[in-house]
Structure 1
Amino acid sequence: MALDPIHLQYAMRRHGMDHDRYAWSMLTDRPAVRWPGDKPLAVWVNVSLQHFPMNPAAKVKLPGSMTMPHPDLRHFTLRDYGNRVGIWRFLDAFSRFAIQPSFAINAELAQRYPALMDAIRARGDEVLGHSWSMDTPHHGGLDIATERATVQQSLAVLREASGQPVRGWLSPGKLQSTHTPELLKAEGVEYFADWVNDELPYRFRTAEGELWNLPLATEIEDRFVVMDNLHDEDSWARQVIDAFELLLAEGREQGGRLLTLSLHPWVMGQPHRVKHLETVLAHIAASTEVWQVAPGQIIEAFAAQQDAA
């Protein structure tokens, strides 16, 4: 039986890709980027502060979620360790090496750890929305009203707790439904970091208006390398530094590049691992060719160049 021709018809079929969320282009074909101070490399360091419920109810289980029969104290308390102990090692290291991080925060965590939120608020570091908890994934099939309420509640709590407009968003597990970009834009979010298919920001179209995607790399994320790929901590540090050096070289030759680093205090905040984080931060801090700033500043600088082009 022949396949009905209707199955081969798709109105969005075109050169490059079959959607209109963003313009198709190759990185090497784009105009050279110039970061402030003519620095060849911008660096964004993001810390995810997360609450993993002990008895997750969502059908979709996110990386790091409980895996043992309830009560999974073994994994719950390890995640909790990051918010009680590991994060303070992070904050100390950021101060010593003059690194300006951002924090993607589950709104439920902001309520559970007010002292931690006070510390972040006092530092003035940029805060990103990170949904309600690690049990509220944004995924296909999720009811739009439920997702809208989650986005609204999460942003309302974080904006109150941080005293910031909260312009950025990182979805738990970097998962999205088909509605997520529109819901974010409707609530005043200006950029998200879920799509990792580039090394520079790009404009992202939604029915509510334009967003920016600021790719937050997965391949050198601490949890992905150490927990999923089972590489040791020294290997993780070498991989980050290798990425740093390559992007720096490309930035000198081809125009500005961007290194993004995703961290979790329950992973690299461990006493046997934190020295490897410090090695990475020291390497970044030692370079005079780096523009190391908050993600909102990267978006502003990049957007200004694109608008002027």
Structure 2
Amino acid sequence: MSLDDDYLRYAWRRHGYDHDWYEWSMLHERPAVRWPENKPLALWLNVSVQFFPLNQRNIPFKVPNGMTMPYPDLRHFSLREYGNRVGIYRVLKALDHYGVTPTFAVNTQVAERMPYLRDALVERGDEILCHGWNMDHQHYGGQDRDEEAELVKRAVGGLRDLTGRDIRGWLSPARVHSPNTPGLLVENGIQWFGDWVNDDMPYPFRTDKGVLHAIPLSTELEDQFILCNNLHSEASWAEQIADACDFLLAEARQQGGRLLALNIHPWLMGQPHRIGYLEQVLAHVMGSGQVWSASASDILARCQASQE
């Protein structure tokens, strides 16, 4: 059976990608990035501070890591709340002990509902990015553009008002978004987002409203992905991150700076039986003396300056 002629005349058939979101390029062929103090590896440690509603809408699909039992699923609701009441303080203590600069991905409804936590994060002075309104308000293909525009505006504007901070970054709930989302982010003054995980370094991302930047936040090394999706042990999680760190360090020495992007959740890593594994990871990563720990926006700015 032969292919239809229309297949061979596909308008986007060319070397590289079949879209215009960003340029085709191979990582090892790009200009080398240099981090401060000539350190080969940058660390973006992202702490996801989330609110999962008890009465989920689950539109357009069931919320990842959300409620799983019949309403009211107090078991899972209270476990998620544990992270914002108890676990996050253990995480903060560990990060400070090892000299790690975190970035906080905050649902706007967390800042609205939990002023004690919002104020504690603001007082630290670390970067805060918008993680959407809450984990049950997803952005998706087929969503009405005006509806999504209102949601982005409410989430980003609300977080700016509640924190008094210049919110420059975005991470979509469940890391899903519609074709309209990137442009809406630009319209609301967002400079970068972490949804796409197709690289080890930041890169420019085109939208119909201007240039956005993508800073890939690894899914493969995320605590919930390894522990909850892959059902690996905490020891395996720590080993995988150590392996990634060592490999990226070696690659960076040969090809230029690399980025280790780690996403953690206080309701997982802030548990008393897991916090020791987070400390083990931080000790390994920061113990080399070759890692620059910085906010996501500072990493992007340095990457851009290095390539000018």
- TM-score range, shorter-chain basis? over 0.9
Partner residue in 1 for 2:24: 24
Letter in 2 for 1:45: L
- Given that residues 12 and 20 in structure 1 are in contact (C-alpha distance below 8 angstroms), is that contact kept between their aligned partners in structure 2? no
Deviations 1:226-249 (A, max 9, x none): 111111111101111110111011
Partner residue in 1 for 2:274: 273
SS at match of 2:159: helix
Partner residue in 1 for 2:123: 122
- Given that residues 13 and 19 in structure 1 are in contact (C-alpha distance below 8 angstroms), is that contact kept between their aligned partners in structure 2? no
Q: CA deviation at 1:285?
A: 2.2
Partner residue in 1 for 2:111: 110
Q: CA deviation at 1:95?
A: 1.4
Within a 5 Å distance, the mapping from 1:113-262 to structure 2 comes to: 113-262=114-263
Q: CA deviation at 1:5?
A: 4.4
Deviations 1:131-163 (A, max 9, x none): 100111111111111111111011111112222
- CA distance in 2 between counterparts of 1:244 and 1:11 reads 41
SS at match of 2:228: helix
- Given that residues 32 and 255 in structure 1 are in contact (C-alpha distance below 8 angstroms), is that contact kept between their aligned partners in structure 2? yes
Moved more, 97-106 or 277-286: 277-286
- CA distance in 1 between counterparts of 2:38 and 2:67 reads 45
- CA distance in 1 between counterparts of 2:286 and 2:33 reads 22
- CA distance in 2 between counterparts of 1:60 and 1:110 reads 25
Q: CA deviation at 1:96?
A: 1.2
- CA distance in 2 between counterparts of 1:2 and 1:95 reads 63
SS at match of 2:22: coil
- CA distance in 1 between counterparts of 2:289 and 2:52 reads 39
Q: CA deviation at 1:282?
A: 1.5
- CA distance in 2 between counterparts of 1:8 and 1:270 reads 55
Deviations 1:61-103 (A, max 9, x none): 2310111111111111111111111011111111111111000
SS at match of 1:204: strand
**TM-score, structure 1 as length reference:** 0.96
Query: Is there any run of 5+ residues in structure 2 with no aligned partner, and where?
Result: none
- CA distance in 2 between counterparts of 1:153 and 1:13 reads 39
- CA distance in 2 between counterparts of 1:303 and 1:90 reads 30
- CA distance in 1 between counterparts of 2:16 and 2:63 reads 31
- CA distance in 2 between counterparts of 1:25 and 1:62 reads 34
**TM-score, structure 2 as length reference:** 0.96
Q: CA deviation at 1:12?
A: 2.4
Aligned length in residues = 307
Q: CA deviation at 1:47?
A: 0.5
Identity %, equivalent residues: 53
SS at match of 2:51: coil
SS at match of 1:122: helix
State whether structure 2 residue 304 is matched by structure 1 residue 303.
yes
